[in-house]
Amino acid sequence: MDTFLLIWLILAAAFWLFSSYPIRGWSHTAFHIVVALVLPILMDAAGELSASHVQITRAAQCAILDGKL
């Protein structure tokens, strides 16, 4: 629920920037920067899911075998 509310808060701020244009021409740029904050939150939430553990483990094993870890 915390993730859901945080994303809605970020999106509300982004759409406010886009619709009200408080910083004129820079509002569109600020909108994209604020919307970009959603991606790391979603990635973190996806990593916490039990369904993701098998894929994360396999990716880590491949990285070890490839010498990246």
pLDDT in tens, 6-23: 999 999 999 999 999 999
User: What residue type is 35 in one-letter code?
Assistant: V
pLDDT of the residue at 68: 82
Contacts of 38 (CB under 8 A, 6+ apart): 7, 10, 11
pLDDT of the residue at 2: 94
Question: What's the pTM value of the predicted model, to 2 decimals?
Answer: 0.72
pLDDT in tens, 20-56: 999 998 999 999 999 999 999 999 999 899 989 999 9
Using CA atoms, how far apart are residues 32 and 14, in angstroms rounded to an integer?
8
Residue by residue, DSSP assigns the chain as: -HHHHHHHHHHHHHHHHHHH-TTTTHHHHHHHHHHHTHHHHHHHHHHHSGGGHHHHHHHHHHHHHTT--
pLDDT of the residue at 69: 72
